[in-house]
Amino acid sequence: MIRVAIIGFGKIAADQHLPAIASDSRFELVGVATPAGDPDIGVPWYGDAAEMLAAMDGAADAIAICTPPAARYALARDALQAGFDVLLEKPPTTTLGELDALEALARAQGRVLYTAWHSQYAPGVAPAAAALAGAEIDTLHISWREDVRKWHPGQEWIWDAGGFGVFDTGINALSILSQIVAVPLLVRAATLSVPENRQAPIAATIEFVGANWQAEFDWRFDAGEEWLIQITTCDGRRVELRDGGARLLVNGVDQPLEEDREYPQIYDRFATLIDARACAVDREPLRIAADAFMVARRESVAAFR
Amino acid sequence: MIRVAIIGFGKIAADQHLPAIASDSRFELVGVATPAGDPDIGVPWYGDAAEMLAAMDGAADAIAICTPPAARYALARDALQAGFDVLLEKPPTTTLGELDALEALARAQGRVLYTAWHSQYAPGVAPAAAALAGAEIDTLHISWREDVRKWHPGQEWIWDAGGFGVFDTGINALSILSQIVAVPLLVRAATLSVPENRQAPIAATIEFVGANWQAEFDWRFDAGEEWLIQITTCDGRRVELRDGGARLLVNGVDQPLEEDREYPQIYDRFATLIDARACAVDREPLRIAADAFMVARRESVAAFR
């Protein structure tokens, strides 16, 4: 039995981590730390993460960190140093340096570090990778649009410097893309549309190396959600992931897929890694985002309130 | 004898690479490619890099790429694929993805790829690293200030998106810092001061993880140059690199140093790597820059004309 405690109990922990842990007989939830108050989920609550890490000495094996990204590095470092295995929600850290440092620490301490990019477990992703295996890609278009007011209500941290802005959402597309495209994803150019009263972008475009490879992220979309990746291959295949990877069309034909089990699969993988004492640190989505920020042309757009 | 050709013949190639190659009996300059016209340096000139790579098949062993950074990835990729060993001026590429891809290509092709961060060879750097060995660092302050009009006259590319701006200079400090500080350099926060008519910063600050670790880069300084790294250790040592690493003071006392031989040492290292068929790819300075761009708060400052 893997005794796991959660740090950060917001929407993603409540909606996803809690049921995934409950449904996996290899895991037992043994504690939760969040400054937002006792969520009353039947396990000991701590207002302070350091207090929980101390209390969990000998009482937990692993920590899942579900706070906003800015807090994760210090929490993960402390958890690894205290001897726990660590699962990081996406994006795992605010910088590549933090992720490199955590990986080095985990390996030095013999602990498991796992970057859980949930969209990589969407049911269409592995079949899409299989459909594209061996093919040369001709065109690639990502359209990742949603209403920030619907999906990030009241989240102020996403607008801060280092808060990722629309990349907090778009990085899910990048995490899928790096799984289904075999060649390196090189950022040639990017634009960031930043509200005049904020530091992080509300919309962005990325041009990749490749004749017609682009991504568009936009948080100003209120006609439902569009989470779409369209790829054509040089030998004429059309591969289309819709609904964030929940639907896959090949040459226009819907493919039969397993049911959506993103978080159960994340915990399945975590258990496998813990069993093997192996780290799984995927830095590519964060690397692509960092490259986009570094080369981006910025434009100021209407204030967001 | 290592037959080397240069792509990009601007100030750095003329002032530094040419004499360094001429003074090293292991190297022979066999060609130069630059669209700016024949520099008349006694070797065949090509207006086009691809034309030179084709002409150098069997006639050159290595290529030194001294163009602005935006062009380097494609040139280095073509040179590696054509079977040449490659030296990259700093910063080696515009993105981390490009550098990762070049390293993977070089290793797959069995070619040498060498990221030549020239400031790492400043005479004070190795002695500074020795002076700091084993010490815990208390405070760290970088002040890297110069007049952009003096040091980058007419260079428009540095102001473009992806042109690095003041980081083109400041990354020299970061390249030194990663050599003399043993712990990872983690960016906690940064500010970029961007002229209202440009895309790249004219000044920047970086706050590193560490109680009092900061860098200040500024191109609006016209009282000479200040290229200064000041470090104090927890056991009371004061280590100060001045003049970009040309002077080292320990506890206020000037240390005897070798003469300044940055580029001769770069070519000495390149010869050693070629002899050993080994790559030397240092991505840390670029990683620190990418992290700073990703988390930076931006402020608009006076137009630069």
Q: Judge if the upstream peptide bond of residue A91 is cis by omega within 30 degrees of 0.
A: yes
Is the predicted ipTM greater than 0.85, yes or no?
Answer: yes
DSSP, collapsed to helix, strand or coil, labels residue A299 as: strand
Task: Give the right CATH number for A120-255+290-301 from 3.10.20.30, 3.10.20.440, 3.40.50.2000, 3.30.360.10.
Answer: 3.30.360.10
Q: Residue B15 burial (CB < 10 Å; 0-12/13-18/19+)?
A: exposed
Distance CA B204, CA A42 (A): 49
> In B, what residues contact A, Cβ < 8 A?
73, 94-98, 100-101, 104, 161-162, 184-187, 189-190, 194, 199, 287-291, 293-298
Identify the CA nearest to A289 among candidates A210, A171, A175: A171
Each residue's pLDDT expressed in tens, for chain B with a length of 305 residues? 999 999 999 999 999 999 999 999 999 999 999 999 999 999 999 999 999 999 999 999 999 999 999 999 999 999 999 999 999 999 999 999 999 999 999 999 999 999 999 999 999 999 999 999 999 999 999 999 999 999 999 889 999 999 999 999 999 999 999 999 999 899 999 999 999 999 999 999 999 998 799 999 999 999 999 999 999 999 999 999 999 999 999 999 999 999 999 999 999 999 999 999 999 999 999 999 999 999 999 999 999 99
User: Which chain A positions have a beta carbon within 8 Å of B94's beta carbon?
Assistant: 294-295
Q: Which residue of chain B comes nearest to A102, CA vs CA? A: B184
Same fold, A2-115 and A120-255+290-301: no
Angle formed at CA A92 by CA A90 and CA A94, multiple of 5 degrees? 115
Beta-bridged to residue A147, according to DSSP, are A220
User: Which chain A positions have a beta carbon within 8 Å of B161's beta carbon?
Assistant: 189-190, 295-298
Q: Which residue of chain B comes nearest to A167, CA vs CA? A: B294
Fold topology of A2-115: Rossmann fold (3.40.50)
User: Which chain B positions have a beta carbon within 8 Å of A95's beta carbon?
Assistant: 186-187, 291, 294-295
Distance CA A292, CA A142 (A): 15
Q: Which residue of chain A comes nearest to B99, CA vs CA? A: A186
Q: Residue A188 burial (CB < 10 Å; 0-12/13-18/19+)?
A: buried
Q: Is residue A65 within 8 Å of residue A9, measured between CB atoms? A: no
Distance CA B118, CA B215 (A): 19
Identify the CA nearest to A105 among candidates A132, A84, A90, A123: A84
Which residues touch B276 (CB under 8 Å, ≥6 apart)?
none
SS (H, E, C) A19-66: HHHHCCCCEEEEEEECCCCCCCCCCCEECCHHHHHHHCCCCCCEEEEC
What's the pLDDT at B211?
Answer: 77
> In A, what residues contact B, Cβ < 8 A?
73, 94-98, 100-101, 104, 161-162, 184-187, 189-190, 194, 199, 287-291, 293-298
User: Which chain B positions have a beta carbon within 8 Å of A177's beta carbon?
Assistant: none
Per DSSP (E only), the strands in chain B are 2-7, 27-33, 45-46, 62-65, 85-88, 113-115, 137-145, 187-195, 203-208, 212-218, 226-233, 238-242, 247-250, 253-254, 297-301
Domain B119-257+290-301 has CATH 3.30.360.10: yes
Condensed to tens digits (0 to 9), the pLDDT of residues A111-130 reads 999 999 999 999 999 999 99
pLDDT band at A210; cut points 50, 70, 90:
confident
CA distance B104 to chain A (A): 10
Identify the CA nearest to A16 among candidates A6, A26, A25, A2: A6
Q: Is residue A19 within 8 Å of residue A41, measured between CB atoms? A: no
* Cβ-based neighbour number of residue B89 at 10 Å: 24
Length of chain B equals: 305
Taking residues A62-88, report their average pLDDT: 97
Taking residues A277-298, report their average pLDDT: 98
Q: Which residue of chain B comes nearest to A293, CA vs CA? A: B294
Distance CA B289, CA B204 (A): 11
What's the pLDDT at B210?
Answer: 82
Q: Is B11 a catalytic residue?
A: no
Condensed to tens digits (0 to 9), the pLDDT of residues A221-268 reads 999 999 999 999 999 999 999 999 999 999 999 999 999 999 999 999
Condensed to tens digits (0 to 9), the pLDDT of residues A157-206 reads 999 999 999 999 999 999 999 999 999 899 999 999 999 999 999 999 99
Residue linked to tokens 């093919």:
A135
Cβ separation B187–A97 shorter than 8 A: yes
Q: Is residue A86 within 8 Å of residue A113, measured between CB atoms? A: yes
Cβ separation B293–A288 shorter than 8 A: no
The domain spans of chain A are 2-115, 120-255+290-301
A29 pLDDT above the threshold of 90:
yes
